[in-house]
Amino acid sequence: MSDTAVLLPDQGQTRKTGRWLYAASVTLLCAWVIVPLYFLLINTLSAPETVNSFPKSFVPEFDLGSLTFFAGFQGMLTALKNSIVVAFLTMVMSILIGAPAGYALSRFEFRGKEAFRLLILLTRAFPLPLLALPLAVMFIRTGLDDTAFGLALVHTTLAIPFAVLITFSLFSGIPVELEEAAWTLGCTRLTAFTKVVLPLILPGITASAIFAFVISWNEVFAAAVLTIENRTLTAFLLQTLGEAPLHLKFAGGFILVVPALIFIFAVRKYLFAMWGIANR
C-alpha cells in the first residue's frame, strides 16, 4: 500500500502536505503545553479585582497586586520557607544516601545485587505518599511530628529510588579504566574517587539533586498529612483551597510553577540519559 503512494505522480504534493501537517501538529502540541501556563501568568500579573472580574483579558496588565497579596497573606511566607527547608533537606539526604548505592550498582558484582535492585524498583511501583499515614503515628512517638525533618524523611523515600538510578547511570558512564589508571598511579580507592570520578560526575549529581528538590517541592499528600503548624506551601495552599480568594490561588500556583521551569531547563540534558539506562 505504501508502494502505490510512492508511485503517485503528485508525490511532491503529498510530501509537502505531510511536512506541513507535521509542523502544525508540533506547534499545536507546544501550544497545548504553553497556553495554560500563559493563562496562569496573566492571572498572577493582574490586580485582584481583575482576576475576579469577567470577561478576562488575554494580555497581562503587569500589576503586582495579586503577588503582594500572596506575600502578605498570614502564614504564606512561613509556608514558603518551610517548603524550601524540607526540599533542601530531601535533596541533601537523598544524594548522600543514594549516591553510594548508585556507585555500588555500577562498579561491583555482588550477591544480593538483584534483590537490591528489585527493592529499589519496587518503591517506584508503590503509592508512596500513603506511607505518611502510619508515619504520622510513629513521628508523634519520636517527636518528629510536624517538623521539617520528619517530612523530609518521607520525601527522601520518594526521591531515593531516582537518586540511586540516576547516579547508577552516571557512574556507569565513566569508564572503570579511568579509576584503575589512578590506582596504578598511587591513588587509593578513595582518592581515585574524589580526584577522578567526582569532578566528572559533579554536574550529573547536581542534576539529580535538583530532581530530588523538585520531588519534595511538589509533593502534596504527605505534606498535608504530616504537617499541621509548620505547613509547606503545597499543604498550605491545599488547606486554603476551600475559602481562599481566586487571586491567592493563582499567585500560589505561579510560585509553585516557577522552580519547575528552571529545574527542567537545568536538568534537560540528563533527563533522557537517566531513563534510558534505568530501563535496561
The answer to whether residue 58 forms part of the interface with other proteins (CB under 8 A) is yes
- Looking at 71-79, 84-92, 125-133, 175-183, which segment touches other proteins (CB under 8 A)? 125-133
Q: How many CB atoms lie within 10 A of CB 203?
A: 13
Figure out which of the listed residues 8, 59, 138, 198 binds other proteins, where binding follows CB under 8 A: 138
Distance CA 239, CA 172 (A): 44
- Mark the segment that binds other proteins (CB under 8 A) among 63-71, 113-121, 140-148, 193-201: 113-121
Cell 547516579, residue?
Answer: 167
* Residues 210-249 contacting other proteins, CB under 8 A: 214, 217-221, 224-225, 234, 237-238, 241-242, 246, 249
Q: Which stretch binds other proteins (CB under 8 A): 61-69, 84-92, 126-134, 176-184?
A: 126-134
Do 146 and 223 meet the contact criterion of CB atoms below 8 Å apart?
Answer: no
Which residue lies nearer to other proteins by CB, 160 or 182?
A: 160
Residue type, 44: T
Could you tell me which of 131, 143, 123, 159 has the C-alpha nearest to residue 223? 131
Q: Which of 47, 64, 84, 97 binds other proteins (CB under 8 A)?
A: 97
Contact 163, 278 (CB under 8 A): no
Q: How far is the CB of 234 from other proteins (least distance, A)?
A: 5
> Which residues in 150-209 contact other proteins (CB under 8 A)?
153-154, 156-157, 160, 164, 189
Q: Which of residues 60-89 bind other proteins (CB under 8 A)?
A: none
CB of 175 to other proteins, least distance (A): 19
Among 15, 20, 22, 77, binds other proteins (CB under 8 A): 22
> Minimum CB separation from other proteins for residue 45, in Å?
12
Q: Residue 1 or residue 185: which is nearer to other proteins going by CB?
A: 1
Residue number with CB closer to other proteins (187 or 220): 220
User: Under rule CB under 8 A, which residues in 251-280 are in contact with other proteins?
Assistant: 252-253, 256-257, 259-261, 263-265, 268, 271-276, 278-280
Is 110 a binding residue for other proteins by CB under 8 A? The answer is: yes
